[in-house]
A and B are shown apart, each in its own frame.
Chain A
Amino acid sequence: MLSRLSPIGLSFCLTTHLALAQGTTISPSEPGFTTGLWTRGNLLGDAGGLRSELWNYGITFGVQDINEVWGNVSGGIQRGASYDGVTLMSVGLDTQRAFGWVGGTLNISGWNIRGRNIAANNLLNLQTPSGILASPTTRLWEVWYQQSFLDGRFDVKIGQQSLDQEFMSSQYSSLFLNTMMGWPMVPSADLYAGGPAYPLSSLGLRLRTQLGDGFTALGGVFQDNPPGGPFNDDGQLRGSTRWGGNFNLRTGALFIAEIQYALNQPNNGDMDYGRHAAGLPGTYKLGMWVDTASFPSPRFDNTGLSLADPLSTGVPQMLRNNFSIYGVVDQMIWRPAADSPQSVGVFARVMGAPGDRNLISFSVNAGITVKALLPGRDDDTMGIGFGIAKVSRAAASLDRDTVFFSGNPFPVRGAETFIEITYQIQANGWWQLQPDFQYVFNPGGGILKPNNPAQSVGNEAIFGLRSVVTF
């Protein structure tokens, strides 16, 4: 408009209003609870002023509620559907905000776990369909203090920790719901109680340092057995583990170390001379863990006989130490532009453990994810993945021994494979809905139905729906 291109000259329309502050009548039109309800990042917003009031003391809190239903329409030991859910509560303290101590963070969290475990009741598969399936209880989870140094180049974390938060993690795999896509099958099956991972944790010390040029190293030592019981009696509800109060230090030590390389991912301070377009980002990890405890042989007893031998004592031979080596790849393989919401990523995780002392000697999971597949759904993600868990040669040999000594047919366990197709709908900032389908081949690696030993557990078609609400 011409008028906007013209000089205005002396302003008579621009006015100065004087001395408003003290005498102004202030309309108390604070936004209501529903204002911005659909667009904000959590359901409660500032929770009526509670969040900002706590933040004045450096305190943050979060509540996340996950509910899901699962049903197997074929296979398993029986068909059916069930509900399960968890609520995660966490409180953090920023020590700088609280009392001026720079770089410190205290974190305390806990779970309420509820519902039925469809894997235990219907499926009996190794790679259970949901990573949140666990024994119902309400328990303390993590209690740790982290101190960073050198502007964050180095940090130390001490206290009760869950290793799945930092080790063996895969960005793209975390989209999927199957347990194997989170805390993998090797540590889940081979460590005492599945190791210090959801819903458990254990005391330990973790160090992390940024090495520069995209490399990060982290490692630590942790108590290896959160419940503290023997291998075949280390349930999540054992003793004070039920409420998370078993700060056990009496069993073995779990050493774990991981080196990470971030490809095409800048760090603070990197210079960009604009000479070439940035490549697609990826993350590569190589790690291992060593456990100093003793582990039961899946095949032999303490006299060297097969556990299937009628003369066996039934007491497994204990083998000192255990270890695993693993690798993780997350790589974006396509996006139309650097600032596009659309992208395609692939991932793979491979790990192995000794076959003479573990149920699972090898596991791999991999897949592909597509973000913003549908028009107008920039924050939705679709994924297709699979997982394979290979039963160890010792466990398979026990099955052969069972055939030999009993003279009856008995399946020899091999590998269990599943495929998963999932679509995560980011309904708004605080609500995710995720329909999911999984198909399990050879559940349990090939096992008989406990309720009908004449039949093997059949391949399973499983449907699920998860809702995640962040309060």
Chain B
Amino acid sequence: MRPPAPLTEPIGSFIQSWARPACALSLKWVFAVVIATPILSGDARAAEQKGLLETMKRHSIITSTVPANGDQNPYAIVVAPVSAGKIQQGDVLVDNFNDRNNLQGLGTTIVDYNPTTKKLSLFAAIPRNLPQCPGGVGLTTAMTMLKTGWVIVGSLPSRDGTTKTKGQGCLIILDVQGNVSGTLTGPNINGPWGNMAVIDNGTTATLFVSNTGFDVGPPDDEPPVVNKATVLRIELSIPEGKLPTVTKETMIASGFGERADKDVFIIGPTGLALGNDGVLYVSDALGNRIAAIPNAATRADSAGTGREVTKDGLLKRPLAMIMAPNGHLLVTNGLNGQVVEIDPQSGTQIYARWVDANKAQSPPGSGDLFGIAMAPTGDSFYYVEDEVNMLVLAH
């Protein structure tokens, strides 16, 4: 006889990570490799390597990201640049967008995973209602830790898990003990959403923040796309021992598409990554493209939706994005379980790697990925599988 589906899926069944076995080689290729290997220099081998993703061998589940209060849906990942207070350098901070009932826009916690002790601890539990944060608190992918120890995290809150009750949100400043020390609000901050790009000079810092909340309505059957999402540059002064203060803000990009969604709350520009040439790259989720904003740190005006670097192809609703040490962009897909590697100079999509092939979704891993962060070694990266609330390391 047939039972209904099991209720407690074994955690192990979510783990499917292995390197594919090498293809069988014909004798002539074996001969060629054996003869040629000794004369190949390291540079030559590196030249054969097209990117970073192909060098990964394993995907290892690191930890559950659910804290004691039951918050779910991990979004932002930040690797601590310094040791300060509760945080050790190299710790992985992860925030949660959902509460314990899995309602979106109600998560208030940041957890701290220490790779040395392999322990997960609670870094911050932010009060649900901060008078200076309109609409409550729901932590987003916009998070960073500065060299001075301050942690700044975005909030795009809801009262019922949908954009019907969406608040304007804010940026919240936390001290090294995880206490709320201040907030950043204003008419140009509305739903700070995507992963931050940061220039951190110690006593000064520049934050790049995408805003996806302007004029977004409830998640009706077919909510309209509103082309009002922005990228804001926020320049901070950080006197020693004092709270960061805003010295300047500039809207450097605008007009990106944003819309409400009944499944994923909101869709809009989500990934921000800085190139060495001063270009800010933006993942335009609804446009299914990567855009470049030139002179992002210095420009005084908006570049609109920027120059198109690449579009469609392997991109399937690009979300969080980082710059790898090789100068390539790594971007997570929202509509499948792939990370795509892009050469931003040529605009070439090099390839994609399946990092979450969960067949419970169609396509596999759809809706599972969000945040991504390079590990300190530069040869591996952290990512979240938000459907199972897990932090994973590709290495």
Contact = CB atoms under 8 A, between A and B. Distances in A.
A52 B69 contact: yes
Interface string A263-288: 00111111111100010010000000
B354 A268 contact: yes
Interface string B225-244: 00010100010000000011
A265 B316 CA distance: 17
Interface stretch (A149-157, A238-246, A382-390): A149-157
Interface stretch (A27-35, A306-314, A417-425): A27-35
Nearest to A63: B7
A241 B244 CA distance: 68
A55 B70 contact: yes
A371 B59 CA distance: 32
A13 B188 contact: yes
Contacts, number: 315
Contacts of B61: 151
B99 A155 contact: no
Contacts of A60: 8
A7 B299 CA distance: 9
Contacts of A88: 3-4, 7
B114 interface: no
A167 to B, nearest CB: 12
B18 A150 contact: yes
B359 interface: yes
A198 B1 contact: yes
Interface string A32-67: 000110011100011001011101100011111010
A17 B173 CA distance: 9
Please name the 10 residue pairs, one residue from A and one from B, whose CB atoms are nearest each other, closest first.
A182-B2, A52-B70, A131-B2, A62-B7, A152-B15, A92-B8, A148-B12, A14-B186, A198-B3, A45-B101
A265 B357 contact: yes
Nearest to B248: A10
Contact of A90 (B6, B70, B352): B6
Contacts of A470: 7
Interface residues of B, number: 105
Nearest to A59: B8
A155 B12 contact: yes
A105 B161 contact: no
Interface stretch (A18-26, A321-329, A398-406): A18-26
B354 A8 contact: no
B180 A20 contact: yes
A132 B18 contact: no
Interface string A93-108: 0101100100101010
Contacts of A155: 12
Given A45-B101, A269-B56, A134 B1 contact: yes
Given A26-B129, A45-B102, 8 more contacts: A4-B251, A7-B301, A8-B251, A9-B250, A14-B188, A103-B12, A152-B15, A213-B20
A232 interface: no
B302 interface: yes
18 contacts: A6-B251, A13-B186, A13-B187, A14-B246, A19-B182, A20-B130, A20-B132, A21-B180, A29-B136, A36-B103, A40-B101, A40-B102, A55-B70, A63-B7, A213-B21, A266-B354, A267-B354, A272-B314
B2 A183 contact: yes
B38 interface: no
Interface stretch (B75-83, B319-327, B361-369): B361-369
Nearest to A199: B1
Contacts of A188: 1
Given A20-B130, A40-B101, A49-B70, A268 B59 contact: yes
A19 B130 CA distance: 11
B274 interface: no
Interface in A415-447: none
A286 to B, nearest CB: 19
A212 B20 contact: yes
A17 B182 contact: yes
Given A46-B101, A271-B351, A29 B186 contact: no
Please indicate which of the listed interface residues B2, B60, B352 has the most CB atoms of chain A within 10 Å of its own CB.
Answer: B2
B243 A16 contact: yes
A105 B11 contact: yes
B72 to A, nearest CB: 9
Contacts of A198: 1-3
Contacts of B188: 8, 11, 13-14
Nearest to A343: B362
Contacts of B185: 14-15, 17
A162 B354 CA distance: 32
Contacts of B186: 11, 13-15
Contacts of A22: 179
B300 A266 contact: no
